[in-house]
Every structure is written in C-alpha cells, then in structure tokens.
Amino acid sequence: MAVSGFEGFEKRLELHFSGDDPIIGMGGLRQLDFESIVEILNAVQCTVVSAVGNQYFDSYVLSESSLFVYSTKIIIKTCGTTQLLKSILPLIQYTSELGFIMSECRYTRGNFIFPKAQPYPHTNFNDEIFYLQQQLPIHLCYRKASVMPSKFISHSWHVFTACNEEPNNNDLFTIEVCMTELDRVLARKFFKHPNMASNEMTQVTGISEINPNALICDFVFDPCGYSMNGIDGDRYSTIHVTPEDGFSYASYECVGSIYDDPNDIINILKKVVQVFRPGTMSISTTSTSNEVWTRIAKAVEPLGMKCRSCTMDDFPSTGSVVFQTFTSCRK
C-alpha cells in the first residue's frame, strides 16, 4: 500500500514501577524533570505541545498523542510513524536514577492503516515482541503476546504484557476505543478555521459534554486534527482525531473503577459514538472483572452500532482483555 495519509492508529505503552515509600511520597515518577521527559520523547520522535496536572498525575498532550505520569506508572500513547518502544531504555535509565524498578509492562495497538510506513521496531508485531523481549528487565518473567482477531482484517488487537508477579486484584479498568470511517459531516468539525482556539473545537464538536466534570487540556492541529487529555480526579481520558476522508480515525480512552455506577461508562460511550458516528469501531476492555465489557454493547447498539465479534484472552497481572468490534447499520 502506498503511503497516502497520516497514521491515526496509536501504539500504547503502560509501565508500572515499584519504589521505596519515601520516594513515592515525594511524588514518585513525577519527580522526572522536564528535560528528562523531552529526552525520552526525542527517542520516540514526538514533542510536548500542551500540559496540565493536578495532585494525582501530570498530563501532556503530544505532537503525536499523549503522555500521563503518575507516581508509580507512566502511560505513553503515540500515533503516526513514532517509535514508541524506543522510550523503554531511557525510561529505565531515568526511573532507576530515582530509585524505581519496573514491575509491569503493557503494550497494545490496533491494526495500522499504513503498515508499510512504520519504521523498526514497529514494522510488524513479531518485531515489536522481539524488541520488547530484548529491552525489558529479565525479572519481568511472566510474559504473554497475543493478536486478538475480529471479523475485520482492518481491526485486530495486539497485546503484549510482562510482569514480575501473579495476577493482582486491581479494581481499575481501561477502555480503548478505535473508530474509522467517521461521519463526514462530523469529521469536518475537526478542520481548523482561521483564529480558531482549541477550546472552541472542544465545544463545537460536543467533546466537552463527554465528561463535563473533566478539566480538558486540548490542542488543534493545522490544517486539521485534534487532541485532548481530560483530568477528573485521579482518572484520565484522551481523544485523538485524524479527520481526513479516506483514512479518517478517532480514538477515545478512559479509565474507571469496577465499583463505579454501571451507567457511567454506558453514558460516556454513547456520547463518544454521537460525536464521531463511526462506520467501524473496536473497543478493548482491560479489567480483572468480567462486569465491564458486558455493558458496552448495551451502550452502543441503541445508537445503530451492531456487535460483529467478541474475543477474550487472559494476561498475567493485567487480567482479562475483551476485544469487541462494531459496525454502523448505515454501512
């Protein structure tokens, strides 16, 4: 396939660390200075374009997606032709200087729209697995890689996990939504007008209503494209949009607790579908509970999205990953 557009599908890396209580109490990984963060992102080939934080974590909007830094975990999500996995070595170096040891690694991504444009180690999943195996500390001995299929060649889910202990009872879940073939009228709202501020696009598109409680840090790209990170207490959410016809793409990601009101995630996903009206959508749910993923179809099917496939797999420490795909009844 010839390279004819921007790669919207992100690569996502989540790393957990352990350290002494005094270090964590002083902010933990948030003690990483900005110069170190810049060096890490230079290895990935992206930059910080906007940032905000609260008492729980720091949030960075990047030239290609997002970075979140908590006291004991870091999440980096990048799109385009970034080399995300090249962040691992500098991250190990800088975090070890703070007295931290990596305890868990989680890497996920969908199918690239333009796979031949990806540089090593993202040339294919086997290369990514090999690179991860070489870079990660040997004490992360529980490792698993899997490609979770769907009925669509364009939507499958790649998962690699590594940890140093058996599964834990984490009450948090992560939802990763990948959307293609966006409604053309709605996608046009993500093209920048002269003198348009990012918060104006957030309002006009309806993104501000997805979680009205969130503090939003947003950025509009020229001539088109949009990114935002939302902060709501210790929870993050993030949206990235590539609106061009032919390879339109949008992603939504959030975290929640299995103890939340079950209607919370239902209402959020309904709003996400209404903002983008995708032709095809995949939703990956990572959780130690089976309760969460069962709510997803209930959320989106009344909006004309039909569930086409559902795949489940278990991963050490991470819990279960459930991968569901949907298509619009308008297709």
C-alpha span between 143 and 121 (Å, rounded) = 18
Token pair 């352990």: residue: 18
For residue 167, give Cα distances in angstroms to 185, 196, 207, 316. Answer: 45, 47, 35, 5
C-alpha span between 171 and 150 (Å, rounded) = 27
Indicate which residue of 227, 237, 251, 287 is catalytic. Answer: 227
Indicate which residue of 65, 103, 150, 251 is catalytic. Answer: 65
| Active-site residue flag, 227 | yes
Annotated ligand binding at 6? The verdict is yes
Annotated ligand binding at 219? The verdict is no
Indicate which residue of 79, 163, 178, 217 is catalytic. Answer: 79
Annotated ligand binding at 166? The verdict is no
Annotated ligand binding at 165? The verdict is no
| Active-site residue flag, 240 | yes
C-alpha span between 23 and 101 (Å, rounded) = 12
Closest by CA to 290, choosing from 321, 315, 261, 265, is: 321
C-alpha span between 323 and 53 (Å, rounded) = 31
Quick one: how many helices (H) and strands (E) in the chain?
8, 16
SS3 78: strand
C-alpha span between 231 and 69 (Å, rounded) = 12
C-alpha span between 331 and 326 (Å, rounded) = 11
C-alpha span between 156 and 151 (Å, rounded) = 9
| Active-site residue flag, 65 | yes
Indicate which residue of 240, 254, 282, 320 is catalytic. Answer: 240
Binding annotation for substrate? 6, 64, 221, 244
Catalytic residues: 65, 79, 227, 240
Binding annotation? 6, 64, 221, 244
